[in-house]
Amino acid sequence: MINQILNQVGSGLDKLLNLVPLPGKVTIIPVKQYAPVPIPNGSPFIAMFNPEQWTDKEAFVYNDEQEEGTQEAVQRFNHVKSRELAFEILIDGTGASGEKKEVTAELQSLRQTVGFNGNLHRPNKLFIIWGYFIFQGVIETVDITYTLFRPNGTPLRAKVQLKFRQDTDSVTRVLDMDLHSADLTHIRTILDGERLDQLCNAIYESPRFLLEVAKANELTTFRTISPGSDMVFPPIKK
């Protein structure tokens, strides 16, 4: 089951990369869903120029626990915040670079790609692709600075600062998870020679949850489990 999902995701990303019209240019693709197969949901936006800076931020949250009479707090891990991606793109309508775009039209195209989708009642889900970098998320802020105008006031050049926040769905969360605490559901593909008591001990730090795991997987016996089969290890209150 898990291998099938992984194959679907890999195939889906290959198809997604084929949608990038100009490889090497920052491309933003709206999709209906991320996984197991990304489904495009509109036209991609291609940046005129690649950004000079690319900020990929990941923050870890801790709870300070300080014992009475001590000067230092113990940092207890709480959770990992959603990743943030930020970069700035330039839209140039002067033609000085050899490529000329109408700034107003480009900004409208950008807003349609990243902004609120009336059919979804929310902003679009997005893939941001640049070279080997693939980020999936939603728009957080669009900050536009106009730097040059025609005599009639229409913009000729604009700098656009974009900030995105990572977004996942249930399938992606399962595939990305590298956690082993007993309060999370785990799906394991059984390897040759593995025993259920050993797996319970590794996941729950105790082999005494054999019966709960066997019941969750509708096993008639826990003494023999088939290599290659997928087994669910549910959250169990100790």
- Per-residue pLDDT reduced to its tens digit, 119-177: 878 899 999 999 878 899 999 999 999 999 999 999 999 999 999 999 876 545 544 54
Is pLDDT larger for residue 233 or for residue 178? 233
Inter-residue contact 40 to 30 (CB < 8 Å)? yes
Inter-residue contact 45 to 110 (CB < 8 Å)? yes
Inter-residue contact 25 to 50 (CB < 8 Å)? yes
Is pLDDT larger for residue 230 or for residue 72? 230
Is 6 a residue whose pLDDT tops 50?
no
Locate the domains of the chain by residue range: 2-60+75-175, 180-233
Mean pLDDT of the chain: 81
Is 211 a residue whose pLDDT tops 90?
no
Is pLDDT larger for residue 145 or for residue 203? 145
- The pTM assigned to this predicted structure is 0.65
Instruction: Determine the topology of domain 180-233 in CATH.
Output: Membrane-bound Lytic Murein Transglycosylase D; Chain A (3.10.350)
- Could you list the beta-strand ranges (E) of the chain: 27-31, 45-46, 54-57, 60-65, 74-80, 84-92, 116-117, 122-123, 125-130, 133-149, 155-166, 186-189, 230-233
Give percent of the chain above pLDDT 90: 35
CA pair distance 164, 152, nearest whole angstrom? 33
Look at residue 54 in the predicted model and tell me its pLDDT. 94
CA pair distance 19, 191, nearest whole angstrom? 38
Q: Cα–Cα distances in Å, from 106 out to 20, 45, 83, 156, 157? A: 17, 9, 27, 11, 11
Tokens 């709480």 map to which residue? 78
| Strand pairing class (155-166; 230-233) | unpaired
Is 7 a residue whose pLDDT tops 60?
no
Q: Tell me the CATH number of domain 2-60+75-175, given options 3.30.950, 2.40.30, 1.10.1060, 3.30.465.
A: 2.40.30
Is pLDDT larger for residue 235 or for residue 18? 235
Is 101 a residue whose pLDDT tops 60?
yes
CA pair distance 220, 199, nearest whole angstrom? 18
